[in-house]
Structure 1
Amino acid sequence: MFRLDTQTNSIQPIEKRTFGSLSYGERTHLQEWVANSPECLGEELLIIQKEFAGFDETKERLDLLALDKSGHLVIIENKLDDSGRDVVWQALKYASYCSTLTRARVVDIYRSYLQDCGIEEDPEALLADFLEVDDISETPLNRGSDQRIILISANFRREVTATVLWLLQRQLDVKCIRATPYKLGDEVLLNFEQIIPVPEAEDFMVHSSEKEAEQTATSDADSARYRIRRAFWTDCLAALHRSDISLYDNISPSRDHWLSAATGVRACAYALIFAKKEVRVEINLGRAERAENKAVFDGLHARKLQIEESFGQPLDWKRLDHRKSSRIEFAKEFDSYNRDNWPNIIDWMVETLGQFHQAISEALHGVAGEVLD
């Protein structure tokens, strides 16, 4: 790693250090850094437990247990300056143990973690929010043998990397992340770099897996739930096209339970939500930087009285402090999968979306201009 000196148009190397030389520990430092900022591993992960020891007839503990956006359990093993020779075997044992965890057990594990962190929130609601679903009972969670492994270390032994490459060839999802500390004056910099699989190879592997998954899931694509959603969105979009609302003019029906439309502010989108027991109109603040989402949310919240007065009713303001995104929503209960209710649901969605857009659009653009570059 180098530091760029723009005045001399030159670069100077930054001193590479070891965790040991900086007196950093595996559990007290590296593990906490990853737990508090799992995005450092290059993807969105939800940490659901630290030092997990809930295995029958063994006292072994895995460092971090997480969920990815597809509902797969992710076993994260941290090593400092040397991976050791047995880290792969250790992680594979933990993955095998975790393969037996049921949906209810995963929820209980996360509930315990939240309690340990002093967070008094419903674990099922937080899981649903992370997975972007309305009901986690409708979402696959810890399917079969789809557990993943992420190994973190400053240096990986050759026997470790060779084993990981062999496992990848056999369709096991294992990553090696190199964590390297650097010293720059009084500051310590930390770089996380995925070394196996290299990003280009991983992209190819992901596309191949997606193709296989698509072929395997063909029969599921025509399930009753997907057919109902696509039929509903077809009727709803037709009604929106007949209205004065142009937000969804270029949007096609979907089998998903949501349908998004642009607000004019990057990565901030309107969404119509069609769940089994309720429907919603919302705005989702989903920019890449957490601080930007919270800044936009806070700016809108400062205008809450004005926005709700224009809308005509109180809104549900969800800052979601433990998530990167935030959202503002308005919901109504319906038996949504009963087609007899669709005319009323669609009328409600069209009217509510129009009022919601009128109430929040000007404020959103004003706040975005103030707090975003």
Structure 2
Amino acid sequence: MATSINLSKITKVDLRDCWQNEATDFTPWLATEENMSLLADALGMNELEVKAQEEHVGPFRADILCVDSGTDKLVLIENQLEKTDHNHLGQILTYAAGLDAVTIIWIAERFTEEHRAAIDWLNRITDKEFNFFGVEIGLIKIGSSPAAPIFNVIAKPNGWSKDVRTSSSQTSNENRTDAEMSRYEFWSAFCEYMANNPSKKFRTQSPSYSHWMNIAIGRSNFQICLLLNSREQKITVQLYIGDDIDKKNFDALLAYKDEAETSIGETLDWRRLDGKKTSTVDLYKKCDFTKKSSQAELFEWLKEYTERFVTFFKPIIKKL
């Protein structure tokens, strides 16, 4: 006799049952680190660092102003707890006109067909410095469980991939040097390795021809950089500290030197770079990264030490 299986039903929950007011209830809920991470995951973006709520953009106020910690570019979020309307579309156009490079995310309970088409049109006519998303927010529950949010992306930039949209000039192999092709092949294979062995600590960017790959660490002006150096035959996991001409951030992290090296398990190269706006903390591995037979070992090394860097440095950086 077949065993009886009891299954619960998924039911929809009215948004107003959880958030009575958009500005005082929904926006503060969304602006928490946990919920911004949910939104970023749904969009396939890096971590979003909230800078302000109800931020002025010209005569308007953006509900949430963020920075994409992987690119340091502005992200503006507009919220609605009902279906989309022309007023919010007008605000989105105003934001785009007043800023040089920006990602705009319009969140609503329901998108009308004309407003979804408007987001698609904006993505077609603007250059790659602008990204427009339409996201529907819903609430569901299973049986008597608490309500859970669902973000449904119904409009996004053409060709949007997991972390980065790659321009047509980047994807073309024409006129590429052997070194560029080697780097692209390495990053492509590394991304495939990470897709098969995903990390809970970080996401990779899309492969490129560059000698670096940036990993978001949750705050602008800080990144983990994975570096390829064919001349010195080494790869590097690097904590990159930007916009730090007075070295306050570097010196604050340097106070954790012994603790960092014990946690990560290796001696690190602490490069203050006096006179420059940047500083770095580096870990090197000597190798020939173009040698296909050893790449699996290198991918494992990059993943392991990137996770160790993120685990140790991320909570400290957020407190600086």
Length-normalised TM-score, structure 1: 0.44
- Alignment partner, residue 74 of structure 2: 73
Cα deviation for residue 64 of structure 1 reads 0.7
Judge which range, 8-17 or 31-40, deviates more: 8-17
Question: 2:119 matched to 1:164?
Answer: yes
Higher RCO (Cα < 8 Å, 6 or more apart): 2
- Alignment partner, residue 61 of structure 1: 61
Residue 197 of structure 1, aligned match among 156, 171, 176: 156
Cα deviation for residue 82 of structure 1 reads 2.0
Cα deviation for residue 13 of structure 1 reads 3.0
Question: 2:178 matched to 1:212?
Answer: no
Question: 2:39 matched to 1:38?
Answer: no
Counterparts of 2:73 and 2:262 in 1: how far apart (Å)? 26
- Alignment partner, residue 108 of structure 2: 153
Change (3 A) 1:331 1:177: same
- What secondary structure sits across from 1:80 in the alignment? coil
Higher normalized helix content (fraction of residues): 1
Matched ranges for 1:1-373 at <5 A: 8-9=4-5, 11-36=7-32, 37-41=35-39, 42=42, 43-44=45-46, 45-53=48-56, 55=58, 58=59, 60-68=60-68, 69-97=70-98, 99=99, 144=100, 146-171=101-126, 172-184=130-142, 185=144, 187-197=146-156, 202-203=159-160, 210-214=166-170, 255-256=211-212, 258-259=226-227, 271-272=237-238, 314-316=258-260, 330-333=268-271
Counterparts of 1:147 and 1:274 in 2: how far apart (Å)? 23
Structure 1 unmatched runs, 5+ = 1-6, 100-143, 231-252, 261-268, 277-307, 320-325, 338-345, 352-356, 365-373
Change (3 A) 1:9 1:48: same
After superposition, what is the alpha-carbon deviation per residue over 1:276-327, rounded to whole angstroms, capped at 9, x for unaligned?
A: 9xxxxxxxxxxxxxxxxxxxxxxxxxxxxxxx9xxxx7234899xxxxxx99
- Alignment partner, residue 219 of structure 2: none
Counterparts of 2:51 and 2:79 in 1: how far apart (Å)? 16
Counterparts of 2:136 and 2:49 in 1: how far apart (Å)? 20
What percent of counterpart residues are identical? 18
**Structure 1 counterpart of 2:38, one-letter code:** C
After superposition, what is the alpha-carbon deviation per residue over 1:220-240, rounded to whole angstroms, capped at 9, x for unaligned?
A: x99xxx99xx9xxxxxxxxxx
Number of matched pairs: 211
**Structure 1 counterpart of 2:211, one-letter code:** R
Change (3 A) 1:158 1:330: same
Do 1:315 and 1:329's aligned partners in 2 also have CA atoms closer than 8 Å? no
Counterparts of 2:284 and 2:162 in 1: how far apart (Å)? 40
Counterparts of 1:33 and 1:317 in 2: how far apart (Å)? 37
Counterparts of 2:125 and 2:274 in 1: how far apart (Å)? 43
Bigger Rg, structure 1 or 2: 1
Do 1:178 and 1:192's aligned partners in 2 also have CA atoms closer than 8 Å? yes
Counterparts of 1:79 and 1:331 in 2: how far apart (Å)? 48
Please, what is the CA RMSD of the aligned residues? 5.0
After superposition, what is the alpha-carbon deviation per residue over 1:250-291, rounded to whole angstroms, capped at 9, x for unaligned?
A: xxx97336438xxxxxxxx98256899xxxxxxxxxxxxxxx
Cα deviation for residue 12 of structure 1 reads 4.1
**Structure 2 counterpart of 1:153, one-letter code:** A
Length-normalised TM-score, structure 2: 0.51
Cα deviation for residue 74 of structure 1 reads 1.2
